[in-house]
């Protein structure tokens, strides 16, 4: 009998929570067939079976287990009855047929257990977020058309079927009821782990910031020309310009493209730039691997694809791993500047503010100029003020002469 252990789905994952088994106990399962949805420290992901045979569930929905713990077994079809007769079935396997509202994040209270609804057991191709939304709104996934890649059902599809408007990232919370009572909303596992990591980073890393203003007029003009050409799909966003500029500058500043780990400096050979994406309940950071070797348009295409998969809950572990530097942009929310916290073991993160028009004296005359604030947060254990300033000046120079980003 083959054992299925809690997989390590991200580079920082220590334990995972089973959201839902996609196959029932005792059902046949094929190799590479979607088997279980697991919530990690970064996202909820679907894990496929490594074996073919008959599934024997050992860990119930809603339970948390360390990486490497056995959560299920797969027996050859002919031997499953003997295995179960020998006592392989456990109380946890029986408990896997029941799930509480708290396990799927319904309200976090001391809810009574209730049977799993078909949404969590449906064989329809759906994202983890879509299954949880279907559970919450009583939507039957079977027969529901999907708009995701390969026809997969997304959370937006479920909400549309339920007649519920999908909230935009950063949208204000719904108004309180007339009694104005407090609402208790427990954080998800991802939110709890992000909070713990950020608190640890802020307490243990000696961080400092350097800041500069970038004149973006040339970048704006270049992007306008790209739009006029009408043969680029997609046209790079200003955030793509920033990612490309950072990737190019990191090649020339290897100490910024580094990690501080166990009292030693690790200078990375690859330049992998992470960028923050607001999902429905957390901030997820997918990675553009080898960003220094990719064109501006290739980066634009990849950022669109992975950002869409973050929001649909289809992001994969490799797309969330290996970042050596991070860009966090709040400019789309109109924020003038952001002072981000380092994501360890990285040693720097760039905060990007909104572009704004100001009056400036140019060649003795008053003219409009568009400025954008960049703030670099650095780890003082490996980077000093001059190191951070030189790197940020390099990024500024690339953005102010954006043709250099095209080769």
State pLDDT tens for residues 314-367.
888 788 889 999 999 998 888 999 999 998 889 999 999 999 999 888 888 898
Coil vs helix vs strand at 275? strand
185-238: per-residue pLDDT in tens?
888 777 777 788 888 888 889 999 999 999 999 999 999 999 988 777 789 999
Q: Is the pLDDT of residue 150 over 80?
A: no
Residues 6+ apart with CB under 8 A from 91: none
pLDDT at residue number 167: 57
Overall average pLDDT of the 26-55 stretch: 84
CA 123 to CA 113: how far, in whole Å?
Answer: 23
Q: Alpha carbon of 368 to those of 217, 356, 357, 365, 371: distances in Å?
A: 9, 10, 6, 10, 10
pLDDT at residue number 211: 97
The radius of gyration computed from the CA coordinates of the chain, to the nearest angstrom, equals 24
pLDDT at residue number 82: 46
Pairing mode, if any, of strands 53-57 and 28-29?
antiparallel
Q: Is the pLDDT of residue 184 over 70?
A: yes
pLDDT at residue number 355: 95
Minimum mean pLDDT range among 121-130, 175-184, 241-250, 374-383: 175-184
Catalogue the long-range contacts made by 162-170 (C-beta closer than 8 Å, 24 or more residues apart).
Answer: 162/133, 162/137, 162/138, 164/137, 167/280, 169/278, 169/279, 169/280, 169/311, 170/278, 170/333
C-alpha of 108 from chain center = 23
- From the candidates 65, 137, 280, 380, give the one annotated as an active-site residue: 380
CA 318 to CA 312: how far, in whole Å?
Answer: 16
- Greater confidence (16 vs 292) lies with 292
Q: pTM for this one?
A: 0.66
Q: Is the pLDDT of residue 115 over 50?
A: no
The CATH code belonging to domain 198-406 is 3.30.559.10
321-335: per-residue pLDDT in tens?
899 999 999 988 889
pLDDT at residue number 119: 55
Q: What's the chain's average pLDDT?
A: 82
Q: Is the pLDDT of residue 386 over 90?
A: yes
Tell me where in the chain the CATH 3.30.559.10 domain(s) lie: 198-406
Eight-state DSSP code of residue 194: H
Q: Is the pLDDT of residue 270 over 50?
A: yes
Tell me where in the chain the CATH 2.40.50.100 domain(s) lie: 2-104
Longest dimension (CA), the chain: 90
The CATH code belonging to domain 2-104 is 2.40.50.100
Minimum mean pLDDT range among 66-80, 213-227, 238-252: 66-80
* Band of residue 92 on the pLDDT scale cut at 50, 70, 90: very low
Q: Is the pLDDT of residue 37 over 60?
A: yes
Q: Is 137 a catalytic residue?
A: no
Cis amide leading into 268 (omega within 30): no
């Amino acid at each position: 009998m083959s054992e299925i252990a809690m997989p390590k789905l991200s580079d920082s994952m220590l334990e995972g929570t089973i959201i839902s088994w996609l196959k029932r106990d005792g059902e046949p399962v094929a190799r590479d067939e979607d088997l279980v949805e697991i919530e990690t420290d970064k996202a909820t992901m679907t894990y496929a079976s490594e074996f073919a045979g008959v599934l024997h569930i050992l860990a119930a929905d809603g339970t948390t287990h360390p990486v490497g713990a056995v959560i299920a077994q797969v027996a050859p079809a002919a031997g499953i009855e003997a295995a179960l007769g020998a006592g392989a079935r456990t109380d946890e396997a029986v408990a896997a047929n029941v799930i509480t509202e708290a396990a799927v994040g319904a309200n976090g209270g001391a809810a009574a257990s209730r049977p799993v609804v078909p949404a969590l057991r449906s064989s329809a191709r759906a994202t983890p977020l879509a299954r949880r939304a279907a559970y919450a709104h009583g939507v039957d996934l079977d027969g529901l058309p999907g708009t995701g890649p390969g026809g997969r059902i997304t959370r937006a599809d479920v909400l549309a079927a339920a007649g519920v408007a999908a909230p935009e990232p950063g949208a204000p919370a719904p108004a309180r009821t007339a009694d104005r009572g407090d609402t208790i909303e427990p954080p998800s596992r991802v939110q709890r782990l992000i909070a713990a990591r950020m608190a640890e980073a802020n307490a243990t890393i000696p961080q400092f910031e350097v800041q500069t203003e970038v004149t973006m007029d040339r970048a704006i003009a270049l992007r306008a020309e790209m739009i006029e050409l009408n043969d680029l799909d997609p046209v790079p966003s200003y955030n793509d310009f920033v990612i490309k500029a950072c990737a190019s500058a990191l090649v020339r500043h290897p100490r910024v493209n580094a990690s501080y780990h166990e009292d030693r400096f690790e200078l990375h050979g690859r330049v992998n730039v992470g960028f923050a994406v607001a999902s429905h309940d957390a901030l997820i950071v997918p990675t553009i691997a080898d960003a220094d070797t990719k064109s501006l348009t290739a980066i634009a295409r990849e950022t669109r694809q992975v950002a869409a998969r973050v929001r649909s809950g289809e992001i994969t572990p490799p797309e969330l791993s290996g970042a050596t530097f991070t860009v966090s942009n709040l400019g789309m929310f109109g924020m003038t500047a952001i002072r981000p916290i380092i994501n360890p073991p990285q040693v720097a993160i760039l905060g990007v503010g909104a572009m704004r028009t100001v009056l400036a004296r140019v060649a003795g005359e008053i003219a409009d100029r568009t400025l954008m604030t960049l703030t670099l947060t650095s780890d003082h254990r490996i980077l000093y003020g001059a190191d951070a300033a030189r790197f940020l000046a390099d990024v500024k120079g690339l953005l102010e002469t954006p043709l250099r980003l095209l080769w």
